[in-house]
Homo-oligomer: A and B are copies of this chain.
Amino acid sequence: MTALAPTPPQDELDLLCSVRVVHLDRVREAKQNEIEVRELDRLAAVFKALGDPSRLRLMLALRGGEMCVCDLAAFLGVSESAVSHQLRRLRDLGLVRNRRAGQCLYYSLDDHHVDEILGLSLDHLRE
């Protein structure tokens, strides 16, 4: 990303080539205020994970405290394998963690940000 002097920044070129723009200033402003791609992707991935009713139910249930896999399977009414796959996805995103106690794995929330977002969402639903 070394900016060679007189050539306009790539962003400007992107805007002007092949795409019509009515309010260039507004578009430029929006671009400048954008968050980094990494952050965006992370945020989108979290929302996407919460965007499945089953996973959302899992997350909401875990707000009430840790639960083991077979409890979660019973709660959702699906197979333990299915829950395990969902939990893995949530775990890969750092949204839940697990704790082993004997044969059982107890899952709990591992991201207080998401916990707060869920709380805010529920508040809004009940407003």
Contacts and interface: CB of A to CB of B under 8 A. Distances in A.
Interface centre among A19, A33, A47, A122, by most chain B C-beta atoms within 10 angstroms, is A47
A112 to B, nearest CB: 9
Nearest to A122: B35
A48 interface: yes
Contacts of A8: none
A85 interface: no
Interface in A35-83: 35, 39-53, 56-57, 60-61, 64-65, 67-68, 70-71, 73-75, 77, 80
A34 interface: yes
How many of these chains are in the complex? 2
B125 A121 contact: no
Contact of A64 (B29, B65, B68, B127): B29
A77 B30 contact: no
A47 B46 CA distance: 9
A14 B33 CA distance: 50
Contacts of A35: 60, 122, 125
Interface of A: 14-15, 19-23, 26-27, 29-31, 33-35, 39-53, 56-57, 60-61, 64-65, 67-68, 70-71, 73-75, 77, 80, 104, 113, 116-117, 120-122, 124-125, 127
